[in-house]
């Protein structure tokens, strides 16, 4: 070699060493017998050792490896010694104390016929990758925790809103306090909670249990009420909230007689939270107390929330007290007025005193009304208003304005029946509601209501009668909530469940028909072949007619399977523009000349991954329906487009948001009414005359599109035509669709191979056996999986197993195939079925590597499929 060549070679090797150092990679070769190895200097650097010191023994390197990872290293070397690959990740500690992650990969080297003697491979520093993985995990955990916090905040806000509405509308003190206690227990995740009411009678306990949540009232029967101790005093006096992560370890607890701690049998309390309920006047009304058997349950956030709930409770209790006091004061005023009539002028001083008292009471009542009005006006998610005994609106809150569109100035003075539909007005619904609330005190119903702009919404309305202390009806309080979105969601769920139930039924029926049609069609084909050489033309015509009817029945069952989403799909990349062009050419030759066909194909339309034959059938079905809707001619338009469905549309249409390929078929025909559109996808529903349609065309389209992960929507009005929009998921890979190879013309026969037929239906099994023998195959048959395995063990020359998917006896066709492959991996297997089963079909698509012929199959299809499977490598 010339010096110039040597220089070039040296430079190349140096470049390779430099590249390996930059990439953090070092090579090695290990003698598996002696455990001595040869490495590049970079390996020593990776292990934290001096690259200038020779260390041929592997043990000298292992001192830097973490003890736990050393076991993994030995296991990987042992695997390589057995002929396996060397693949391991370990941690090393360098002299400076830093920890490095190393990844080792290699392959054993052995002479032909010998066990591996050497292991060749490389080490790479992956510390940075591992560090990034740890950081990514930490970020993921942080995001998940934040999402949980947001969900909890939403739950808390919903409970607080619901509690606020209840407090605003409730004047019964018992119900009000119980509602507040239950809500607080739910929000702060307490095991139990209680509201203790303050008593100012010195001869009685300072607090009495008023409401309890999460525990039986009997739990407090044997113990005295809370007393003014170090723990309870801040609550009794209204000074501050008391929160303890472990009350049993709290120095303020356990110092008071007679128990000096928690008495035997008391509810177990470790976490403790108590908040005073104080009115705006500063009066301590009581306290909210919460407990949990585990320590550390209540947080600062729990305390803030309970303080807010306590403030709501104080307003509600004040209102209830004022309401009760006003009634009492009004009673007193009437009694005073009666007494004044009997007294003489000498009682003027007493009258003056009583008048002052009454004025104070009225002022309190006005203050209470002001607070109540502020509370009602703060509620925005429902309409709260008041009507008089005739139904005329007298009060109106901002929530009512937001819900109905009417401002207070527009609506006060009008009759509340203006919110009802013409149908309800004709039936006298508003009058019936008033009559019911007048007699029962309360009436609740749901129905359509009308906004100012004429739009309708589904509402829940509650009407409460308002009476004075003598029982005289003063008017009604009405609370209305918009339930439109909830009702629409429930209706979509019911429709989806209905279609799913019908789909399961039709799928089962189609399966049974396919077995019958397999026998009928197969025997008719056999009869047709045997009559081919005879001169009996009328008999051949009868057989041909029967075969045509059998084929039509098979198409009918395929439509049923398409709706039920039980048909096995064989998806591939499809260009909808190409498919529409091919279909439109066919339609121009077959549809009436009075129908103009227009295709509007967008440029750059994405590929989709679907069964091309089924998609073509869908477009043809829609075109035929469009033709029938235009008996006097018209225009049929088929369009394509790239479409993005956003989150808003996806929620209302029950489809995933994302990129879709759109196919839109429009006609200028008669159109459909809304009630017809609602049932259009149901199987056997048709508006055509008897004999002019099965009612399965649109149901087949619906089933195929849903099975393919897409969405289909009908837009139609009577007299304005119909547009049906199909959305199919975009195929992200951009491989061009491949054309299918043309099927061979002659019917391929057998070459003496032995085929095992496994079928539980006797007639189908006998037909399959006869067809295979006619094709030139030797045939064995079995009614179930167990019998088939016995035949396979006795006949090693079986070339193919032809098995039904649904077999009795605890072993289906897929399980049989798995058992066969464990015995004879080379044995070919062909499945048959009347409809898709989860054994070989998942999400409507064949499992990879599965060969399938669907029932009913023809003689030619069976012959062709058998040769394809047998000749496949």
Each residue's pLDDT tens digit, 342-379: 565 555 666 567 666 656 656 665 655 565 555 445 55
* Residues 596 and 574 grouped into a single domain: yes
**632 lies in some domain:** yes
Nearest residue to 823 via CA among 783, 795, 847, 784: 795
pLDDT for res 19: 47
* Residues 348 and 394 grouped into a single domain: no
C-beta atoms surrounding 9 within 10 Å = 11
Kindly calculate the radius of gyration of the chain based on its CA atoms and give it in whole angstroms: 42
**9 lies in some domain:** no
**310 pLDDT exceeds 70?**
yes
pLDDT for res 773: 92
**780 lies in some domain:** yes
- Gap between the Cα atoms of 671 and 499, Å rounded: 23
User: Quick one: pLDDT band at residue 48, thresholds 50, 70, 90?
Assistant: confident
* Residues 234 and 310 grouped into a single domain: yes
Segment 327-354 mean pLDDT: 61
Collect all residues with Cβ–Cβ distance below 8 Å to 391 and sequence separation of at least 6.
Answer: 415, 416, 417, 430, 434
Segment 442-459 mean pLDDT: 88
The range of the structural domain enclosing residue 97 comes to 14-125
Domain C-terminal end among 482, 506, 541: 482
- Gap between the Cα atoms of 528 and 642, Å rounded: 49
Each residue's pLDDT tens digit, 632-653: 888 889 999 898 888 777 766 6
**260 lies in some domain:** no
Segment 150-170 mean pLDDT: 71
- CATH number for position 349: 3.30.450.40
C-beta atoms surrounding 331 within 10 Å = 11
* Residues 458 and 496 grouped into a single domain: no
Alpha helices in 238-347 (DSSP H): 300-342
* Residues 113 and 220 grouped into a single domain: no
* Residues 531 and 621 grouped into a single domain: no
pLDDT for res 5: 34
**498 pLDDT exceeds 90?**
no
Collect all residues with Cβ–Cβ distance below 8 Å to 715 and sequence separation of at least 6.
Answer: 722, 723, 724, 725
pLDDT for res 513: 58
Domain C-terminal end among 459, 482, 505: 482
* Residues 715 and 774 grouped into a single domain: no
* Residues 602 and 551 grouped into a single domain: no
Each residue's pLDDT tens digit, 224-281: 556 556 677 787 777 888 888 888 777 776 555 555 455 665 677 888 888 888 888 8
Collect all residues with Cβ–Cβ distance below 8 Å to 97 and sequence separation of at least 6.
Answer: none
- Gap between the Cα atoms of 451 and 742, Å rounded: 63
**118 pLDDT exceeds 60?**
yes
Q: What share of the chain is helix, strand, coil (3-state, %, to 5)?
A: 45, 25, 30
* Residues 768 and 850 grouped into a single domain: yes
pLDDT for res 456: 87
pTM: 0.34
**428 lies in some domain:** yes
- CATH number for position 630: 3.30.565.10
* Residues 517 and 462 grouped into a single domain: no
**470 pLDDT exceeds 90?**
no
What does the mean pLDDT of the chain come to? 77
**559 pLDDT exceeds 70?**
no
Beta strands in 376-511 (DSSP E): 383-387, 393-396, 442-450, 456-467, 473-482
User: Quick one: pLDDT band at residue 746, thresholds 50, 70, 90?
Assistant: confident
Each residue's pLDDT tens digit, 4-30: 333 434 434 454 455 455 556 899 998
**136 lies in some domain:** no
* Residues 459 and 506 grouped into a single domain: no
pLDDT for res 301: 86
pLDDT for res 822: 93
φ and ψ at 332, to 5 degrees?
Answer: -65, -35
Q: Does the N-terminal peptide bond of residue 673 adopt cis geometry, omega within 30 degrees of 0?
A: no
Q: Is 120 left (phi over 0), alpha (psi -120 to 50) or beta?
A: beta
Each residue's pLDDT tens digit, 509-522: 555 656 666 667 66
Segment 309-337 mean pLDDT: 71
User: Quick one: pLDDT band at residue 828, thresholds 50, 70, 90?
Assistant: very high
* Least confident among 45-49, 112-116, 837-841: 837-841
pLDDT for res 781: 94
- CATH number for position 472: 3.30.450.20
**720 lies in some domain:** yes
Percent pLDDT > 90 in the chain is 14
Alpha-carbon torsion angle 486, 487, 492, 497, nearest 10: 100
**131 lies in some domain:** no
Q: Which residues pair with 638 in a beta bridge?
A: 599, 665
**92 pLDDT exceeds 50?**
yes
The count of domains in the chain is 6
* Residues 159 and 276 grouped into a single domain: yes
φ and ψ at 538, to 5 degrees?
Answer: -60, -40
pLDDT for res 678: 76
68 exposed, middle or buried (CB, 10 Å; 0-12, 13-18, 19+)? exposed
């Amino acid at each position: 070699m010339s010096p110039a060549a040597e220089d070039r070679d040296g430079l190349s090797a140096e470049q390779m060493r430099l590249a390996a150092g930059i990439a953090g990679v070092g090579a090695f070769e290990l003698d598996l017998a002696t455990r001595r190895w040869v490495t590049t200097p970079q390996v020593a650097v990776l292990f934290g050792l001096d690259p200038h010191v020779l260390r041929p023994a592997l043990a000298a390197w292992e001192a830097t490896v973490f003890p736990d990872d050393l076991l993994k290293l030995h296991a990987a070397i042992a695997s390589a010694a057995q002929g396996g690959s060397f693949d391991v990740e370990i941690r090393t500690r360098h002299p400076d104390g830093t920890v490095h992650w190393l990844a080792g990969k290699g392959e054993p080297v052995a002479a032909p016929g010998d066990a591996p003697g050497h292991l060749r491979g490389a080490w790479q520093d992956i510390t940075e990758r591992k560090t990034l993985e740890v950081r990514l995990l930490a970020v993921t955990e942080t995001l998940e925790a934040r999402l949980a916090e947001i969900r909890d905040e939403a739950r808390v806000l919903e409970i607080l809103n619901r509690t606020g509405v209840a407090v605003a509308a409730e004047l019964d003190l018992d119900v009000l306090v119980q509602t507040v206690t239950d809500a607080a227990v739910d929000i702060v995740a307490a095991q139990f909670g209680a509201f203790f009411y303050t008593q100012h009678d010195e001869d009685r306990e300072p607090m009495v249990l008023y409401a309890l949540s999460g525990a039986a009232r009997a739990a407090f029967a044997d113990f005295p009420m809370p007393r003014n101790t170090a723990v309870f005093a801040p609550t009794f006096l209204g000074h501050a909230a008391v929160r303890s992560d472990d009350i049993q370890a709290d120095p303020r607890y356990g110092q008071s007689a007679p128990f000096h701690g928690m008495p035997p049998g008391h509810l177990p309390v470790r976490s403790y939270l108590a908040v005073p309920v104080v009115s705006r006047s500063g009066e301590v009304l009581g306290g909210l107390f919460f407990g949990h058997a585990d320590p550390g349950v209540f947080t600062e956030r729990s305390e803030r929330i309970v303080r807010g709930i306590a403030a709501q409770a104080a307003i509600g209790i004040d209102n209830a007290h004022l309401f009760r006091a006003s009634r009492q004061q009004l009673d007193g005023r009437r009694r005073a007025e009666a007494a004044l009539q009997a007294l003489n002028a000498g009682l003027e001083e007493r009258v003056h005193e009583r008048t002052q008292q009454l004025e104070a009471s009225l002022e309190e009542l006005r203050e209470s009304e002001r607070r109540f009005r502020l509370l009602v006006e703060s509620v925005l998610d429902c309409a709260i208003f008041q009507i008089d005994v005739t139904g005329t609106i007298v009060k109106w809150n901002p929530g009512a304005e937001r819900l109905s569109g009417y401002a207070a100035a527009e609506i006060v003075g009008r009759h509340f029946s203006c919110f009802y539909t013409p149908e309800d007005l004709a039936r006298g619904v508003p009058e019936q509601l008033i009559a019911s609330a007048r007699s029962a005190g309360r009436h609740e119903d749901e129905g359509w209501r009308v906004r100012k702009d004429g739009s309708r919404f589904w509402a829940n309305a509650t009407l409460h009668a308002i009476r004075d202390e003598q029982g005289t009806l003063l008017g009604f309080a009405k609370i209305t909530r918009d339930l439109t979105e909830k009702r629409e969601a429930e209706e979509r769920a019911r429709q989806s469940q209905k279609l799913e139930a019908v789909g399961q039924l039709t799928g089962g029926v189609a399966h049974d028909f396919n077995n019958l049609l397999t026998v009928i069609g197969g025997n008719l084909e056999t009869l047709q072949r045997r009559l081919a050489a005879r001169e009996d033309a009328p008999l051949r015509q009868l057989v041909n007619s029967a075969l045509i009817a059998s084929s039509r029945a098979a198409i009918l069952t395929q439509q049923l399977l398409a709706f039920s989403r039980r048909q096995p799909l064989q998806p591939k990349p499809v260009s909808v523009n190409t498919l529409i062009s091919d279909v439109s050419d066919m339609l121009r030759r077959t549809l009436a000349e009075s129908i103009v066909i227009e295709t509007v194909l967008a440029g750059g339309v994405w590929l989709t991954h679907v069964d091309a034959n089924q998609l073509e059938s869908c477009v043809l079905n829609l075109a035929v329906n469009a033709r029938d809707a235009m008996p006097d001619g018209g225009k049929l338009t088929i369009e394509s487009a790239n479409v993005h469905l956003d989150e808003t549309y996806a929620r209302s249409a029950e489809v995933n948001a994302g990129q879709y390929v759109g196919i839109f078929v429009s006609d200028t025909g008669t159109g459909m009414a809304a009630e017809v559109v609602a049932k259009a996808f149901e199987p056997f529903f048709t508006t055509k005359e008897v004999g002019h349609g099965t009612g399965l065309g649109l149901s087949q389209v619906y089933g195929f599109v849903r099975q393919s992960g897409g969405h289909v929507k009908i837009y139609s009005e009577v007299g304005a035509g119909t547009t049906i929009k199909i959305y199919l998921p975009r195929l992200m890979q951009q491989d061009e669709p491949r054309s299918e190879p043309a099927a061979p013309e002659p019917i391929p026969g057998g070459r003496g191979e032995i085929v095992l037929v496994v079928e539980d239906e006797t007639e189908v099994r006998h037909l399959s056996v006869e067809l295979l023998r006619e094709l030139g195959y030797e045939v064995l048959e079995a009614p179930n999986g167990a019998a088939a395995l016995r035949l396979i063990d006795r006949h090693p020359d079986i070339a193919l197993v032809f098995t039904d998917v649904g077999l009795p006896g605890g072993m289906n066709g897929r399980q049989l195939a798995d058992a066969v492959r464990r015995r004879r991996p080379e044995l070919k297997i062909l499945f048959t079925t009347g409809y898709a089963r989860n054994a070989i079909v998942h999400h409507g698509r064949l499992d990879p590597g599965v060969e399938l012929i669907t029932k009913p199959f023809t003689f030619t299809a069976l012959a062709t499929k058998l040769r394809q499977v047998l000749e496949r490598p």
